[in-house]
Structure 1
């Protein structure tokens, strides 16, 4: 049975259930969980909400807007290290905000991936990261041990740099038992090193007996196109880079490679991030074409995806004007 057939079978068995019915997925089977995740969006990574809820740009009503806009899950981007004390205890007020966000999203019919996003700190200094990351997941694991299965844990976004394959696998071996102690049946989301690169999927070492892991990768190729003008990259001075038909063929081939890896390794896969930078001056028609091309190819293989991101940059929703960036939304959820 192919991955697509497995996903379709799981969907057929659950067609009568509610939108967040991942909570009814068979324990220990990430394929069943993946079957309930289709189209997602990354949210709240850099919102003032986390330090001063009164200044929040993102509002509770936006969860209903996301659901009605055609999405069924969110990837909740957290920089938790900033909210830990000297003993690595999480700030109670920050935790209360997190509780509200998870509840509001769930009440809106959205599944939630809790994503620990301190990837630069962990990649720059893995030794300093390890106790913080273990402390984070010990606390979050205990706090959400009774949450519905529509809440997933993503252990760390985009390991890279000093957190190479060997060190990342060693760190995973420390963190996984911490999470499984409180959440033996929770679906976990784990990606490879090199910024969750598809080229490093084969380096990821996961426990063979743990079948409740959803493998994730991120995709921003061709990088010269998607990140032209992005000030945090070497492409900051690049402009006017077109999306070519050769690029579109490459996208199709790359995503077929991921699907083949999933099939060969019997692991479900999530595209956790993709998008094209929106402040580069690149014509929106090109960005729409890119977005639609990735979405079409991912869905052709039956894989769920989450767009980067709702607000900030690469946006699909303009909070300042309280409206969707409709061409991008249509590229994501409209007719393929």
Structure 2
């Protein structure tokens, strides 16, 4: 054997073992699919349908100003630089419907998607369970075998509906933020997603792009723990959500453990820890709904959160290491970066926000958006309008864009 041939053989062995110094080039996308760059979430169009006190859905559904987006709004979003919409769809109303109404709901989904495509957007149709209807809440779908079987059947029906649209304009996301957070839940989500993928692929055909995710609310850590072997050769995208550090992005949100934190700076500055603790304890002391013991527990828990933040969670380098880990995983799996979508990111905004917090929010949004673009990942901001303090609009449907957010996202106002 010649020296050249021997080196070639050794190189093949090293590559097979994953020890080669050279990275293989990512393969071409596996089938048709939209070229995504900058997106925004629409959580107001096909989610949170009106329900009566008895738990019945209003019919026809998704009617009224709350669910509407005008042509002028769509033109403005397109002109600002957005090229795709992540359209969240509540599966519960579909699962609760009889055959006739389910067919009508499928027509409504198709019509909304076609309108967005006609306005110049690609569309990610995101199955996005919410807790509005306890019978089909996210945790119930994960825990109940019959509920998940019904969900898979609906995924197949919807895949068939979307397969009739242009595959270069639409992607079907099979499950938003699986609420499985323990390490031992990862294999269970892996198996469930394999089943979902199989049903959707069978019903939707080979051309329909599908989107997959990790457990633990679509964490990047669980994404890079996925076994992608069952999806090799399939026309798929992958997605993760980024809200880290959670104490910063969700500070002041009433239903979160960070509800007593306010005006936290990012990146963390150790000199600000004492001020943050003092302000949090003052908010806890003012909460009339807490007993004395509950206030003590809340103070201790919040102080632990803040200590972790200022001891390292709030450092900028965590962002860089997270995106580097995703890129390393994608390279090893030979997944094109254009097929890995940061499907959600944002920071809750409070009316009492200080100038320091406003500057920190802008800095975080700019840094996360820039990191995604530097690594070649498309991104979708959460959200266009709605609740939770993360909206792009400042004053509801008739209000203007939040200029600070628009600037941080690198868009035109």
Same fold (TM over 0.5): yes
Quick check: 1:119–1:156 contact (8 Å CA) kept in 2? no
Selected match of 2:392 from 316, 321, 325: 316
Distance 2:231 2:159 in 1: 22
Quick check: 1:88–1:136 contact (8 Å CA) kept in 2? no
C-alpha deviation, 1:47, in angstroms: 6.0
Residue 143 of structure 1: aligned partner: 161
The Cα offsets for residues 21-74 of structure 1, whole Å up to 9 and x where unpaired, read as xxxxx7x34xx746x100001103446688341333532422222211210001
Moved more, 265-274 or 294-303: 265-274
Residue 19 of structure 1: aligned partner: none
Q: Identify unmatched segments of 5+ residues in structure 2.
A: 1-21, 51-59, 132-136, 269-313
Map 1:88-103 → 2, pairs under 5 A: 91-103=102-114
Instruction: Say which SS state the counterpart of residue 330 (structure 1) adopts.
Output: helix
Residue 306 of structure 2: aligned partner: none
Q: What root-mean-square deviation, in Å, do the aligned CA atoms of Structure 1 and Structure 2 show?
A: 2.7
Quick check: 2:110–2:162 contact (8 Å CA) kept in 1? no
Q: Which has the larger radius of gyration?
A: 2
Q: Are positions 1:303 and 2:377 aligned together?
A: yes
C-alpha deviation, 1:311, in angstroms: 0.6
Residue 37 of structure 2: aligned partner: 38
Q: Are positions 1:271 and 2:342 aligned together?
A: yes
Measured at CA, do residues 205 and 87 of structure 1 come closer, stay the same or move farther in structure 2, by a change above 3 Å?
Answer: farther
Selected match of 2:139 from 100, 116, 123: 123
C-alpha deviation, 1:88, in angstroms: 7.5
**TM-score, scaled relative to structure 1:** 0.84
C-alpha deviation, 1:322, in angstroms: 2.8
Residue 253 of structure 1: aligned partner: 321
Distance 1:223 1:110 in 2: 30
Q: Identify unmatched segments of 5+ residues in structure 1.
A: 11-25
Selected match of 2:61 from 48, 51, 58: 51
**TM-score, scaled relative to structure 2:** 0.69
Residue 14 of structure 1: aligned partner: none
Quick check: 2:343–2:381 contact (8 Å CA) kept in 1? yes
Quick check: 1:88–1:132 contact (8 Å CA) kept in 2? no
The Cα offsets for residues 95-126 of structure 1, whole Å up to 9 and x where unpaired, read as 33322210111011100000001166243442
Measured at CA, do residues 86 and 308 of structure 1 come closer, stay the same or move farther in structure 2, by a change above 3 Å?
Answer: closer
Selected match of 1:217 from 223, 233, 240: 240
Moved more, 159-168 or 184-193: 159-168
Residue 196 of structure 1: aligned partner: 218
Distance 1:330 1:112 in 2: 24
Selected match of 1:184 from 197, 206, 214: 206
Quick check: 1:122–1:129 contact (8 Å CA) kept in 2? no
Distance 1:89 1:116 in 2: 20
Quick check: 2:224–2:326 contact (8 Å CA) kept in 1? no
Measured at CA, do residues 59 and 2 of structure 1 come closer, stay the same or move farther in structure 2, by a change above 3 Å?
Answer: farther
Instruction: Say which SS state the counterpart of residue 41 (structure 1) adopts.
Output: strand
Give the number of aligned pairs.
313
Residue 13 of structure 1: aligned partner: none
